[in-house]
Amino acid sequence: MTGVLSGKDLAAAIRAEAKRACEGALVTPRLAVVVATDDESSAWYVRSIAAAAARTGLDCQVVDLGAGASPEEVEATLAGLSAEESVHGLMLQTPLPKGARLEELARAIDPVKDVDGANPLSLGLLAAGLPAFAPATAEAVMALLDHHGVELPGKTVTVVGRSNVVGKPLAHLLLARDATVTVAHSRTADLAAVTRTADVVVAAAGRPGLITAAHLRPGAVVIDVGTNATEDGGLVGDVADVSGVAGAVTPVPGGVGPVTTALLLAHTVEASRA
């Protein structure tokens, strides 16, 4: 029997705590989200952030520069919002316009407002095991594993994807919890060989159906980070039907996504109290 690792209850609990903190706050925490893409999965995320912020009692300011924005324009916008006292949390949506790199632009995000851990300084601190905001998605994967009682010390974990938003920071968080970590990517010669040895497989490639039953050791725990928009307006992950082989799998929607959104708000509340 393949179990379903829902993120809904966990997300609700994180939001409830953030809400309590907002009710007691002198200043309403404010999150600014900068968008320079027309990507559908980013649009999904921005809508969930705005909706969750409204329910939780945070202010959310979306600054949409359009997919044609220049890197200079994005950088100047981030620098301006970083300097604004009323803004406590600041994030830049990916993907970015052609030629723009997140790790370069995010240097303009003040590290104390870097609630999605995008400034390379945050990633460096995280790698060194020092306090910093982790990208909400990477932290959401850890929170889901903990919430569902998945043990990590000594376990083998394969992360598929090495982006600075998900794969790389997640590898550091897993290492800090004494897992043995393998990071796979598009140049990995034999993906199935490195996923089949893993007790836990995290799929964060943005490729619908990439991970199949043939990629898994029987009983493996599968965390599906992928959020791929379908033509009919739905959302699918990176994991095909693996029921019967996987021990447990996170659903899409309803798995990593809601926890990511909730943690982004929690980070903003925390930043507003610093």
Ligand X SMILES: NC(=O)C1=CN([C@@H]2O[C@H](COP(=O)(O)OP(=O)(O)OC[C@H]3O[C@@H](n4cnc5c(N)ncnc54)[C@H](OP(=O)(O)O)[C@@H]3O)[C@@H](O)[C@H]2O)C=CC1
Instruction: List the single partner that 186 binds among ligand GUE, ligand X, none, CB under 5 to 8 Å by kind.
Output: ligand X
User: Is 197 in contact with 160 (CB distance < 8 Å)?
Assistant: no
Mark the segment that binds ligand GUE (CB under 6 A) among 28-36, 189-197, 242-250, 254-262: 254-262
Q: Is 82 in the site for ligand GUE (CB under 6 A)?
A: no
Instruction: List the single partner that 187 binds among ligand X, ligand GUE, none, CB under 5 to 8 Å by kind.
Output: ligand X
Among candidate residues 206, 164, 183, the one with its CA nearest the CA of residue 42 = 206
Q: Is 265 in the site for ligand X (CB under 6 A)?
A: no
Among candidate residues 241, 194, 200, the one with its CA nearest the CA of residue 215 = 194
How far apart are CB 112 and ligand X at their closest, in Å? 22
Q: Is 48 in the site for ligand GUE (CB under 6 A)?
A: yes
How far apart are CB 205 and ligand GUE at their closest, in Å? 13
The token pair at 119 is 């400034």
User: Is 87 in contact with 113 (CB distance < 8 Å)?
Assistant: yes
Q: Is 196 in the site for ligand X (CB under 6 A)?
A: no
Q: Read out DSSP for 118-132? A: -SHHHHHHHHTT-S-
End-to-end CA gap in the chain? 45
Q: Is 156 in the site for ligand GUE (CB under 6 A)?
A: no
CA distances from 161 to 3, 118, 205 (A): 24, 16, 5
Name the residue nearer to ligand GUE (CB basis): 57 or 258.
258
Contacts with ligand GUE, residue ranges (CB under 6 A): 41-42, 44-45, 47-48, 91-94, 116, 118, 136-137, 165, 227, 235, 252-254, 257-258, 260-261
